[in-house]
Each structure stands twice: as structure tokens, then as C-alpha cells.
Amino acid sequence: MPDKALKYALYFVLGLSLFCISQTDRSDSWQLMSCFGLAFAVYVVLVFGSARPINTKEILIVAVFLRLAVSFDFPNLSDDYIRFAFDGHVVLSGDNPYAVKPNQFVDKYGGLPKIMDHESRPGLSLNSPDYYSVYPPFSQLLFAISAWISVDSTLGFVLALRLLLLIFEVFLIVGIIQFLGKLKLSPIAVNVYAFNPLVCVEVIGNLHFEGVSLCCLVFALLLLWKRQDVAAGISWAAAISIKLIPIMFAPLLVGKVSVKRVVIVGSVCLLSVVGSSFWLFADGAIGNFGSSLELYFSTFEFNGSLYKLFREIGFWMVGWNTIATIGIISKWLLVLLAGWLVWRGRNKEMRHLFQDMLVLITSYYALASIVHPWYVIWVLVISVLNGYYFGALWSGLVVLSYINYGVESVTDLVWIGWFQYGGLYVFILGEILVKRRVIKMTYLSKPSFRLD
């Protein structure tokens, strides 16, 4: 079969497999894993085979097509969107999403908003009704816009939010392409992200905001390189106001750009975050937001790796779950790691910043007690910008964690953790220590892409 015909056939099969994933209940593990397996098999051929697309227009068209394939129904692997809809309606009602719990809203208004009727999904329920919202301010804005567009329709809310996320996805792909060119990496490496089944399913299908935050962060770094420091600070603040993850990358700028520029970017970012977070400073909401986050990270466990090892050591030493202590130790380990990266990171080339970011984000999720599949998208994007493929491998392995939903009660099956993380860490060692890529993707020439 000619490459062009093969390519179109692969697009169709990948789109069809993604559609099947979107129609499969997460409790049906065998069907879900079969569809994901087919999707990732086609993905590998498309990304690394001879039939891969090589021009930006084709990449964007196919990327949009694949994301539309998972857009025909409600999210099937996550019920978070119901809380998104609730928060959006709270904002439209003039209330503070960080000061009103869902059960308090019911007491105040005599019931949940009409948008919570779930239409054709009557079995769903609002998650964490006793928690204040943990979603940052820019997320709340997108929730409110989608709730306003949807006019009390749950499906309308989902479709409106998907459209917003799709726009950010297109800009993110364009941003990655720009960076790959500047870093002297093969531009077609963007396919690793653009065609990734996990990205399509989790960002567009299940409405998770990793793509939005990454888009803002990527453009913040592009603006930083162009020495547009004020705009870079605003874009970085937007990334933080969607997901808090970009906060950990900010210290890495020290030593890579001048002190003056660090102060400008940091000040603008801080002022922008504070200015967009007025909800957090009313009605004692900042304490509510912090307590809900702390409770989330010190109570829940799902699909952790090194965390589980530390937890078992804790059980052996003291006889109970030491999650709170492990959380504190992990935070300080990350602080020390970030400090060490800043101390040694005096090279002003952008690729060294990306290397430090990759070390930090990979360590963060290696130590985390909760590693939902969509969290890995951070590692995927940053590994692509470093010319590494372990993020792509992890995106394929992490979907195995959905098997945990196929049992009577959601739990962490031990063999899934061993298989997922055993294979991942061996692969990482192969890429880093042996300094060899699974598929050759090297710098075409010595890069000179400096931040300062």
C-alpha cells in the first residue's frame, strides 16, 4: 500500500479506536484496554513509521480530527466535569466557588443548579460535595463561560468546554513546533504529542486542563526568549491560574536570565496571579482553598510509584499509613532538588532549562501519591521538548491504571504498579544513562537558543 493511502487508513483506524474508547465504560477493563492497545499501536506506527505526516497543516488537521473523535458524548472515564459545571454555575450565580461547598449551595438555594440534572447520565453524582473547589481561578473563568453558553444543558456545557480546550490544543501544538525548530530538533517530533491517544482522551474527551496550562507555559517561554518579559509573566500567571504545576518551574529561571529579568517576570506573574485570584481573598476563601488542596494530597492515593515503596517502609517501621509524613518529606526533597538545579544551572540555553524542567516534573510524579493518567501529559510534553521518548511510553503504560476501576471498589492493583513503573524506569535508564534514543531524534546541529 502506498504511504499516502496507508497514512489515511491509519488516521481512520486511530480515530475509530479513540471513538470506541469514548463509548466504553471505565469499568469494562477488557474492552477499554483493547481499544487503548489498538490506539497506541497505530500511534507508534504513525509517529515512528515512514507514513508519518511531516507538514504543519496536515498535523493540525489530523490532530483536530482525532480530538473530534472523542467529542460526541459525555466524558466516560471521569466525572470531574460535573464539578466543573457546578463551579461554573456558582460563579454565574454571583457566589464564591472557594467559599461555597455543594452541600451548602443546596441549603442556600434548595437544590443543585439545573445544569446538574445530568440529562442522559442519571447515575452520576457530584464528586466531593463536602469539599471547597480546588480548581484555580482561570479554570473557574472557563467553567463560567461554558456554563453561560450552555444555558442549563449539561451536554451543552461539555461541548462548550471542549471547544475552548480544542482551541488551546491547536495553539499548544503550534508552540511545540516552534520550539522544536529553535532547539534544532526534528519538527515532526510534535506528532508524539499531537497524535497521542492519552492526550486526545483526557484533554478533550474527559475535559482535563493540562493542555490549557501547558499552552500558556509554552508561550510564556517563547515570549521570554523574545525578551517580552511582561507578556511572559502574564502568560506564566495564566498557566498557574489553570494548574498550579508551573509554580515549581519558576525558580529554574534563576541563573538562566539576568536578575533584572527574573524580577520583572516574577513580579508581573505574581501580580497577575493575585489580581486574577480575588475570589481567594474574600470570605476567608484562601484558607478553604488551601485546606481542600492539603486534604486532597494528604488523604487520597492512586497509582503512585516511589510513594508506595515509602508507604510500605512506613508500615514496616510504625505500623500505620504514613502518607502525611511522606508528603512532607517529598515536598522537601523536591525543594532540595529544585535548589540544586538552580545552583548548578548557569547555562543560559533554553534546552538546559527544559532539561531541568524534565528532571523536576519527573521527580515530582515519581514521588506523588496520586498519579492520574492525565497528569503524565506534563511529562509527555516536556520530554518531547528534550528529545526523549519516556513520556510517550509512560502515556501508554499509565492507561493500565484504569483497570483499577474494573474491580468492585477502586483500588491499586499491585501488579499494575510493578508492570507500569518497572518498564518505565528501565526505559528511562536506557535513555539517560546509555544516552541513546529509541528512535533517533538528535540535534541537527549544535543549538544556540539562548534565553539571555
Q: Tens digit of pLDDT per residue, the chain (452 long)?
A: 457 888 889 999 999 999 999 999 888 889 999 999 999 999 999 888 765 656 888 999 999 999 999 998 899 888 889 889 888 988 888 888 888 888 777 777 666 666 555 444 444 466 667 778 888 889 999 999 999 998 778 889 999 999 999 999 999 999 999 998 888 887 778 999 999 999 999 999 999 999 999 999 999 999 999 999 999 999 999 999 999 999 999 999 988 888 899 999 999 999 999 888 776 666 667 766 666 666 665 667 777 777 777 776 766 677 666 666 777 888 889 889 999 998 886 667 788 899 899 999 999 999 888 889 999 999 999 999 988 889 999 999 999 988 887 665 556 667 787 888 888 989 888 887 766 544 444 444 455 556 66
Contact predicate 146/88, CB 8 Å:
yes
Q: Measure the CA angle with vertex 351, ends 349 and 356; round to 5°.
A: 105
Burial class (CB in 10 A: 0-12, 13-18, 19+), 21: buried
Burial class (CB in 10 A: 0-12, 13-18, 19+), 136: buried
Q: Measure the CA angle with vertex 375, ends 86 and 179; round to 5°.
A: 115
The per-residue DSSP string of 331-343 comes to HHHHHHHHHHHHH
3-state secondary structure of 359: helix
* Three-state secondary structure of 168-207: HHHHHHHHHHHHHHHCCCCHHHHHHHHCCHHHHHHHHHCC
- The grid coordinates listed for 60 are 493540525
* Three-state secondary structure of 244-280: CHHHHHHHHHECCECHHHHHHHHHHHHHHHHHHCHHH
Report the amino acid identity of residue 332: W
As beta bridge partners, residue 254 has 257
